[in-house]
Structure 1
């Protein structure tokens, strides 16, 4: 398709990419004033991701050529997470940021006919990312180089049209940023409610004076592991599997969300079944703070078994379903899991026996229901905002595909 005014060109006619500096880990300091950018600071689709307390900071000697300026554009040259390779960001205006290794600083050549905001969008296109990934090196972790990125052939519209396209799509970015700010507030409010309602620091008037019980998990329920593996045997009946990620990514698990089919012996199917109210935990992870993440089965699930990668906790008492989903998310419970996890730095595991020793505080059933209802409403609001953001991102991607390929033209 001929596009009036658009030209096929190589990126090395317009930009160069400069490697970052290998800052010494001995000067990494959580209280340091300088911020060391890492691949973790990139969203997979592009853009700056704040890391909060996990952000690497630096307090040591800095080569002046590796101090970044507000608005500088960087590209991720290693795939720390799937889809990250080739992602770009612009350096924020607040704070002093350092140009770290594995990140490329994109600089325009004199007389370049490319707009960096347009390039940011262009490098976010799935077709471009696939090309970068296909030409990458590495076995376990993919990585690319400045020459491989600048060697890409791209189709560029005239500079005024590039700017107009970037302006149009920036309105979508602002809408997404606004929605993300609302989501962050909703998450903060939900967390504050959890930490006050689930610890008894905040009580509903009708329950004032009623005492809570502190219970040990092993005394009020049964902890089971040794779930079903992911193998298939034509001689065994088929079952659907409740996996690690089904627990890790959710608070409530629904039957319709599970579609991983395996097989298991009939005795194993009976032993590892899933019933409404069962609480599942992640017993292991690469980090201590991700062990014992909970999720609750929202319904009976005939034909579903839990995986050997998760632990099932089946209560012997009648606790409110919503309360079950949130009571194991308190700071106190997380601290217990952190302390009881065993590991060497590569993998951390919490044993069945340690699960049984963990403690939670529990009010009466009526108060559980009231607490559960409030927290479920807060959780539903978070989910509503997450879905809204996902819809905005999907619509933006569809528009990008049209504008960045010339299928839809803009008036300048």
Structure 2
């Protein structure tokens, strides 16, 4: 089926959008029964984003009509960050997520005319996003409305072709989701081993080691309580603008979520943000200095040459221990609590490099650290390999999406993809 046979219509001919509910701020909390979704739960290119420790929980009364179901399609109607307006996502689980007022719930008018998964990809296409943004109101923060979205002009194929296109693109998303699950399993395996050996002291040969007193309580003999600054450098290197490379790969605070670097942006150095200064290398740990309760931290693995990070990060570089030990030791609940308790500033609580350097860590013997590194570094490498696979899958999907949605690709030529 060629694009010449596709029909021209408006989104409003295919769907209607239901406004969300104004949940009361007094019931927002760090834990609760439901999660209030915000535009921050969308990826820029579309898709549901799990915010980890940054979720907004709700403890108040919940109208049942605004509890989302698995498979529901939602769209961001407020641009919390540039590029998010019009982004869509599919709800991954029933009974947990709440339909907030800044989001629209997409409801298909006629199931024989439109496929919900096809509409999901249509919303995330460039022509639709451009039209939504062009009709939005506001200057600093852009807003759209159901009526404006309904006026967006689109071209759609028959329902069977919609099913086929959605199936092809979903195949990529399914592979990405599967890799994400494997990444989470690998990290939990490493964290479980860390807790078993260095929190519960059930390490190999523990039954033959005597416990002794220390500032941290009773610890195995031979272990030491050390300042982080004694076993790692904080902000070791900063780029010199006078001898900077022509091009840099920049990691911004907004691109790091708990445990993951989501995007790296390439700039000419002359056009890079002024905060693009911290030099990073393989095995470094990035920790956002602002609002440490949000747990914006990540392990840097095999970065491109000339990769730099924002000065809003503390960059931890191990000097005497495996980088996986340092990463896991500085991302525990206890370490996060230490940072939060030492942060200063009301509006933007932040910590300094010295706060990191002064943190006390329990450091085991060198042979045990070596064993831990041998067990966990391969896990980190496998996780990094899966993340790179996902980057390639997203890149391929994003190249294919506009061609499929414009009819440039004959779907018969894509049989082997799905």
C-alpha distance 42-221 of structure 1, shift in aligned 2 (>3 A): closer
2:380: which partner in 1?
Answer: 379
**C-alpha distance in 2 between matches for 1:139 and 1:24:** 26
SS of equivalent residue, structure 1 residue 285? coil
2:223: which partner in 1?
Answer: 212
Q: Is the 8 A contact 1:199 1:361 kept in 2?
A: no
C-alpha distance 17-376 of structure 1, shift in aligned 2 (>3 A): same
SS of equivalent residue, structure 2 residue 43? coil
**C-alpha distance in 2 between matches for 1:208 and 1:313:** 34
SS of equivalent residue, structure 2 residue 222? coil
Residues 272-281 or 355-364, more deviating: 272-281
Query: What whole-Å deviation, never above 9, does each CA across 1:299-353 have from its counterpart, x for those lacking one?
Result: 9x9x9999754556788x7445665555433443333222222221x31222354
1:7: which partner in 2?
Answer: 7
**C-alpha distance in 2 between matches for 1:238 and 1:97:** 46
* Deviation at residue 101 of structure 1 after TM alignment: 0.3
* Deviation at residue 85 of structure 1 after TM alignment: 1.8
| Residue 403 (str. 1) matches residue 408 (str. 2) | no
The gaps in structure 1 that reach 5 residues or longer are 263-271
The gaps in structure 2 that reach 5 residues or longer are 210-220, 271-276
**C-alpha distance in 2 between matches for 1:198 and 1:395:** 42
* Deviation at residue 206 of structure 1 after TM alignment: 9.4
Q: What is the correspondence of 1:169-318 to structure 2 with a 5 Å cutoff? A: 169-199=169-199, 201-205=201-205, 209=209, 211-217=222-228, 236-238=242-244, 245=252, 261=269, 282=287, 284-290=289-295, 293=297, 309-311=312-314, 318=320
2:83: which partner in 1?
Answer: 83
C-alpha distance 405-328 of structure 1, shift in aligned 2 (>3 A): same
2:344: which partner in 1?
Answer: 342
C-alpha distance 378-2 of structure 1, shift in aligned 2 (>3 A): closer
C-alpha distance 194-84 of structure 1, shift in aligned 2 (>3 A): farther
**C-alpha distance in 1 between matches for 2:233 and 2:52:** 37
C-alpha distance 94-352 of structure 1, shift in aligned 2 (>3 A): closer
C-alpha distance 369-296 of structure 1, shift in aligned 2 (>3 A): farther
Residues 334-343 or 116-125, more deviating: 334-343
RMSD: 4.4
**C-alpha distance in 2 between matches for 1:55 and 1:280:** 23
Q: How many residues align?
A: 390
Query: What whole-Å deviation, never above 9, does each CA across 1:151-206 have from its counterpart, x for those lacking one?
Result: 11111112222122223333333333322222221222122223334447242349
C-alpha distance 201-225 of structure 1, shift in aligned 2 (>3 A): same
Residues 108-117 or 14-23, more deviating: 108-117
1:104: which partner in 2?
Answer: 104
Larger Rg: 1
**C-alpha distance in 2 between matches for 1:13 and 1:370:** 62
Residues 186-195 or 326-335, more deviating: 326-335
Q: Is the 8 A contact 2:69 2:94 kept in 1?
A: no
* Deviation at residue 90 of structure 1 after TM alignment: 3.3
* Deviation at residue 6 of structure 1 after TM alignment: 0.7
**C-alpha distance in 1 between matches for 2:401 and 2:287:** 38
TM-score normalized with structure 1 length: 0.75
**C-alpha distance in 2 between matches for 1:305 and 1:71:** 39
* Deviation at residue 408 of structure 1 after TM alignment: 1.9
Query: What whole-Å deviation, never above 9, does each CA across 1:194-253 have from its counterpart, x for those lacking one?
Result: 333444724234996352011124566776799679xx6xxx554798977499689999
TM-score normalized with structure 2 length: 0.74
SS of equivalent residue, structure 1 residue 106? strand
